[in-house]
Amino acid sequence: MQGLLNYIRNEIPTWIVQVPVILIVITIHEYFHAWTAWKLGDTTPIETGRLSLNPLRHLDPIGTIALLLFGVGWARPVMIDFGAFKHPRRDTVLVSLAGPVSNFATAVVAYLLLLLVRSSAGTVTQFTYVYIVLKSLVEFSVALGVFNLLPIPPLDGSKAFFALFFKRPERFLYDRAVDLYGTIILLALLWFNVIGGVMSKVLGFIFDTLLKL
């Protein structure tokens, strides 16, 4: 019982901070997919209710479970109309990369604020929760951005890959069968820690570099 109480005392406060941060990071990611598609002429994000800052509109059940089990996950893909773009290939790549780029931008802003907190006159302990929030924003934003660049459906990297290298990418973009098989492969790679091993090295390099700045 004492062990359980210690766990609750030590871990629950962290999760109280991290869960909202995860929702914020996912929402920013999906919102900018939708916003970019809308700006490029596709009204599908508005019609499907995805041009929204409501996290519940963007959560994917399997992606959320993967996040809880493996520490990495994904949101429900924003549907786009390939034929609505003036420059279909280019615009599809821009929409696909908008999510990861928004995460990296969030990480940069959070990191600069983190440096400001650390260099303030007071000690870090005076800003404990602010520090944890900003640190979590940096970590989750970078992790989600890097993870989604993998060229495996339904991740963003696959959409950009199809648009760049396939003659008829519309046959693969947002195809349920492609996304289903891709999700199975993705979960298998997560289960056997293939992606986890790669991600840990990439993220370790990024975070080590940030610490040296």
* Catalytic positions: 30
Beta strands in 104-177, from DSSP E residues, in sequence order: none
CA distance 143 to 156: 14
CA distance 173 to 56: 23
Per DSSP, 77 falls in state P
Length of the chain: 213
Maximum C-alpha span of the chain: 63
Q: b/e map of 54-72 (b: 16 or more CB within 10 Å)? A: ebebbbbeebbebbeebeb
